[in-house]
Structure 1
Amino acid sequence: MWARIGPLMPADPVRGRRWADHRRTLEAIAWKYRTGAPWRDLPVELGSFRTAHKRLLRWAVDGTWERILATVLAAADAGGEVGWAVSVDSTVCRAHQHAAGARKALVPGRPEPDDHALGRSRGGLSTKVHLAADGSARPLAVVVTAGQAGDAPAFTAVMAAIRVPRTGPGRPRTRPDVVLADRAYSSRAIRSHLSARRIRAVIPQPADQIRHRLGRGSHGGRPPGFDPEAYKDRNTVERCIARLKQWRGLALRTDKLALAYRAALHVAAVLIWTRR
């Protein structure tokens, strides 16, 4: 795995102190989120917790984690390993009380939402992770919002986050062959969005939409196309969620900044893809 990830890490700065060992720092970040332990409990063998935490944030701000994931995806796509029957869904992750209390003022240069992707509902503080998974249950795109946010409003953001570069000339691939989603995504706006991009939608209609269409008679129009056999593959996104939630630091959010939590999701995605 390190043979694939190591060459993608940033080079040492020309001036000043050299970076701490990249491999040890990556292992420290992975250990923290796999176990869900506090940063200060990092084993001494993995170096300073301050170094690992600062590296996670610094590379989240400058987009390093996203670039590494994009490069790994490009190599997988060049080898024909990406399944472009994409499934979309979301999952709610509880937030620890330590995740609350971040300053409202945004730090210049950091793409941090005003609410830090934290919401309060009947179950308490939570964050919702929206993601798209390929045909082998591996993450292609991740978007985080507050826990009470709906699935459908985040759909276009998830689709826009699917961007797999080419290893040679050509534009990045952004269009799946088919998108599979559950009834929460059955809306005219989503179906029109996919149709305009020439993406086949496999989304069942909820019962209330069917009743409304039948109640209008001939004015209700034809039912949208639905392939029940293809829909059986929607379990890939559920399996992808299960893979991510094996990381205890992702299943229970303790990060105050959505920036750090999203970066940890990218780290997990990189390791999932390089384990193929």
Structure 2
Amino acid sequence: MPLTDAQWARIEPLLPDRTPMRGGRWRDHREVTDAIAFTFQTGTQRVHLPVKCGNWRGVYNRLRMWAVDGTWEPDVVLADRAYPKQRDTVERCINRLKQWRGIATRYEKTATSYLAKLHIAGIFLWSAR
């Protein structure tokens, strides 16, 4: 499910500038974030992204770059709600994360990509509140 306008309004200011250090402008962050979330929600492989999502290599490269530089880190994005203290809250969160097929089945080959996947799912859950 793509980001709603309300979700995007909460997430957009947290993402880096669209002008990279080298080269031209990046593809729209919202389109790439939606494509990343699509792979995680459906469990599909990146190489099987629909054409409307763009080139899978660009999506993967942005995911990896932002995972390495800490863009997806929860201490930056979820500082006010990152560490719930009640067990039922944690269990509800885990159950909502399991609805993302790519998280429940753990298709990612690297820990960095899987951790980024968890962060992105958390961002989607946070922004939907």
* TM range, smaller chain: 0.7 to 0.9
Higher relative contact order (CA 8 A, sep 6+): 2
Aligned to 2:4: none
Q: How far off its partner does 1:70 sit?
A: 3.2
| 1:93-108 alignment, distance < 5 Å | none
Aligned to 1:250: 103
TM-score (norm 1): 0.42
Distance, in Å, in 2 between the alignment partners of 1:57 and 1:254 is: 15
Which of structures 1 and 2 has the bigger CA Rg? 1
Letter aligned with residue 31 of structure 1: F
Count of residue correspondences:
122
Distance, in Å, in 2 between the alignment partners of 1:256 and 1:234 is: 30
Aligned to 1:46: 53
Aligned to 2:78: 73
Distance, in Å, in 1 between the alignment partners of 2:65 and 2:21 is: 17
Q: How far off its partner does 1:64 sit?
A: 1.2
Letter aligned with residue 6 of structure 1: E
SS at 2:109's partner residue?
A: coil
| 1:24-173 alignment, distance < 5 Å | 24-66=31-73, 69-74=74-79, 77=80, 82=81, 133-134=83-84
Q: Which runs of 5+ in 2 are unaligned?
A: 1-6
Distance, in Å, in 1 between the alignment partners of 2:76 and 2:113 is: 20
- The ranges of structure 1 where at least 4 consecutive aligned residues each deviate by more than 3 angstroms after the TM superposition are 69-72
Q: How far off its partner does 1:237 sit?
A: 1.4
Distance, in Å, in 2 between the alignment partners of 1:248 and 1:133 is: 23
RMSD: 1.7
SS at 2:60's partner residue?
A: helix
Considering fraction of residues, name the structure with more strand. 1
